[in-house]
A and B are shown apart, each in its own frame.
Chain A
Amino acid sequence: MNDPCAHCEEMMQPYLDHVLTDEEMARAEAHLAECVDCRRRYRFEESLRIYVRKAANEPMPEELRVKLSALRIPLD
C-alpha cells in the first residue's frame, strides 16, 4: 500500500532544508496542499526550528570580546 503521509514524513527534513529536487518539491507541495495533518506538522517543524534558533542565540559577552582582541599579535 502506498501511504503518501509516510513518504511525506521522510521528505520533511530535506524539504525544510531546501535540498529536494524540483520534482520532489512539487510532489511534496501537492501533498501538503491537500493534507491538513502534514501541513500542520510541517509548519510546526518550521516554527520549532525558528524558535530554537532564537532561543539559542546568546550574545557574546563583552569581556570575551576584549579578551579576543588582546590575543592579536602585536606588530614589531
Chain B
Amino acid sequence: MAHAGTVDRMDAEPEEAQRLATEARDRVRFEEDALALSDQVYRVARHLASSREDADELMQETYARAFRSWRSFTPGTNMRAWLLRILTNLNIDRGRRQQRAPQMQPLEANDYFLYDRLAENGDGVSDEEQVVERLSQDDIVTALSAVPHDFRDVLVLVDLGDFSYADAAQILDIPVGTVMSRLHRGRRILKRELAESALEEAT
C-alpha cells in the first residue's frame, strides 16, 4: 500500500476544493443537457397541459425542480424521460385533472369510424393521406385537449413523444398493460372527437 501514505499527507482542503469543482462542473453539464432537451420536453408538455399557459407554467416548475434535484438524476439514463416524470407528477399534483370525468359513453364499435366518416363526407376523395387533411390543425389540438387526462397522458407520451410503452409506464408509474389499454382507448376517444368536429364542419 505504498500510495496510502501519500493520500494521508495530502491537504484536506484542496481535496474538498477539487470535489466542489467537479460537482460544479457536473451540475453545469446537467443544466445544459436539460435545457438542450427543452424543445422536445415542451412538445409533449404542451399537450399534457390543457392550455399554452398551463404548459408554460408546468415547464418552469419542472425545470426549477430538476435544477434543484439534479443529483437524483443518474447520468447515462434517459434524461428526457426523467424530466417528463417530474412534469407529469407536477401536473397531477397541481390538480389539473378536474376536467370532465372520463366519458363512459360507449365508443364506436370499431376502430375505423373516423375514416368512414371522413371518406363518406368527401367528394369522392378517398385517398387516405388526403382524407386526413380535411382535419384542421385546430381540430386536432382541440380534440387532443378533450381526451381525459389518464388517456391523454399515455397518448401524448407515446404518439407525440415517441416513448416506448415501457418508458411511458415508468414515467407515469403504471403497468405496461395499463399503458396499452389506455393508449388504445385514448386513440379511439381522439378519433371520436375528431369525427365530431368533422361532422360539425360538414353541417
Give me the interface of A with B, judged by CB distance under 8 Å. Answer: 9, 12-13, 17, 19, 40-41, 43-49, 51-53, 55-61, 64-65, 67-69, 71-73, 75
The distance in angstroms between the C-alpha atoms of A38 and B82, with both chains bound, is 38
A44 vs chain B, min Cβ distance (A): 4
Q: Given A58-B43, A75-B28, are A51 and B140 neighbors across the interface (CB < 8 Å)? A: yes
29 A-B pairs within 8 Å (CB atoms) are namely A9-B110, A12-B111, A13-B183, A13-B187, A41-B115, A43-B129, A44-B115, A44-B131, A45-B111, A45-B115, A47-B128, A49-B159, A51-B135, A52-B140, A52-B160, A55-B140, A56-B141, A58-B42, A58-B43, A58-B52, A60-B39, A60-B43, A67-B60, A68-B59, A71-B63, A72-B31, A72-B67, A73-B67, A75-B28
B35 surroundings in chain A (CB, below 8 A): 68-69, 72
Q: Is the CB of B38 within 8 A of A47?
A: no
- Report Cα–Cα, A13/B182, bound state, in Å: 12
Given contacts A13-B187, A19-B165, A64-B42, contact A51 B133 (CB under 8 A): yes
CB pair B63 A68 closer than 8 Å: yes
B184 at the interface (CB under 8 A from A): yes
**B137 at interface by CB-CB < 8 Å:** yes
Within 8 Å CB of A13, what residues of B? 111, 183-184, 187
